[in-house]
């Protein structure tokens, strides 16, 4: 075998890698991406608000959940 020949990367498998995107050119989905992020942010705000409301309405359950979370954090190993 030719040991002194440089090894070529195998380009026969799979499709070629996609071109990296630059920030200068706007992509086709930038408007949809911004809309998706806006809806996601709204959903997360409402979810957080609902969790806070549930904690106020059911204080015993919220306290038990906090205790369970503290116990998980105490027993967690890095």
* This prediction's pTM: 0.47
Does residue 27 contact residue 21 with C-beta atoms inside 8 Å? Answer: yes
Residue with the two structure tokens 């205790």: 67
What pLDDT score was predicted for residue 42?
97
Half-sphere exposure of 6 (CA within 13 A, CB side): 2
Residue with the two structure tokens 């991406």: 33
Separation CA 8–CA 28 (nearest Å)? 35
What 13-17 contacts at long range (C-beta under 8 Å, 24+ apart), as own/partner pairs, is none
pLDDT single digits (tens) 13-62: 555 555 555 555 556 678 899 999 999 999 999 999 999 999 899 989 98
């Amino acid at each position: 075998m030719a040991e002194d020949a440089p090894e070529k990367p195998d380009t026969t498998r799979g499709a070629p890698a996609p071109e990296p995107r630059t920030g200068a050119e706007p992509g086709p989905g930038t408007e949809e991406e911004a809309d998706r992020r806006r809806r996601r942010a709204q959903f997360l705000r409402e979810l957080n608000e609902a969790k806070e409301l549930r904690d106020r309405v059911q204080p015993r359950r919220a306290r038990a959940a906090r205790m369970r979370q503290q116990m998980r954090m105490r027993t967690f190993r890095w």
